[in-house]
Structure 1
Amino acid sequence: MTDSTIDATADLELHVPRGGDGTLQEGIAAVLARSAAVDRTEVVAISGVRPTLNDLRVDASVRLRVRADADEDARAAVRDAVTDQFGVREVTDIEPARSA
């Protein structure tokens, strides 16, 4: 079993805490960086922001680099790495590209 990286794009719905320093894009990246499997996050587009009492509910498209086992399904690996994070509500439209 060897590790590989998966570069993927995905659409997400997530909660970004209010009151943090930085931009909304940095807040999205910080939420996703909680996963040890996520190496890099780039926000491609933000399609919706809905304020709630303690956070912002954000719809965004992101590019991710995720570490996974070489024999693991790429879409499942990306989904697992991201959806297990506190604040991520939904992950859809995952388009992976696996590299060694």
Structure 2
Amino acid sequence: MNALEIDATADLEIQVPRGDDGSLQDGIVTVLGRSAAVDRTEVVDISGVTPTLNDLRVDAEVRLRVHLDDSVEDERAAVRETVADQFGVRTVSAVETDRSS
């Protein structure tokens, strides 16, 4: 079984814990980096922040490098599902991919 490295951009709503060291962007990278499938995260834009009791609900656009099984037929759907399965990610939308080597 081989793996693909997929570069993608996605809009997402994510819960970033309060009280962690670093910036809001660092918090987004940390949450997404907990997934074994996400190799790299870059925050492109933050379009909204809503404080809640224990975290910040953030609307952001991110660039990701995601490792997927090479048998996937729909890369965008696979990226969406992989990222959405991560704890703290509420929604994933507007996924665009650009396959890398």
Distance (Å, rounded) in 2 between the aligned partners of 1:22 and 1:56: 14
Aligned letter for 2:64?
Answer: L
Correspondence for 1:90: 91
Correspondence for 2:53: 53
Q: Deviations over 1:28-76 (max 9, x none)?
A: 0111011100000000000000000100000000000000112212112
Q: TM-score, normalized by length of structure 1?
A: 0.95
1:36-75 aligned at under 5 Å gives the runs 36-72=36-72, 73-75=74-76
Correspondence for 1:78: 79
Q: TM-score, normalized by length of structure 2?
A: 0.95
Q: Tell me the percent identity.
A: 69
Partner secondary structure for residue 29 of structure 2: helix
Distance (Å, rounded) in 1 between the aligned partners of 2:13 and 2:39: 19
Distance (Å, rounded) in 2 between the aligned partners of 1:3 and 1:54: 36
Q: How many residues align?
A: 100
The CA RMSD over aligned residues, in Å, is 0.9
Task: Name segments (4+ residues, structure 1) moved above 2 Å.
Answer: none
Aligned letter for 2:54?
Answer: N
Distance (Å, rounded) in 2 between the aligned partners of 1:77 and 1:36: 14
Distance (Å, rounded) in 1 between the aligned partners of 2:70 and 2:86: 22
Distance (Å, rounded) in 2 between the aligned partners of 1:62 and 1:94: 10
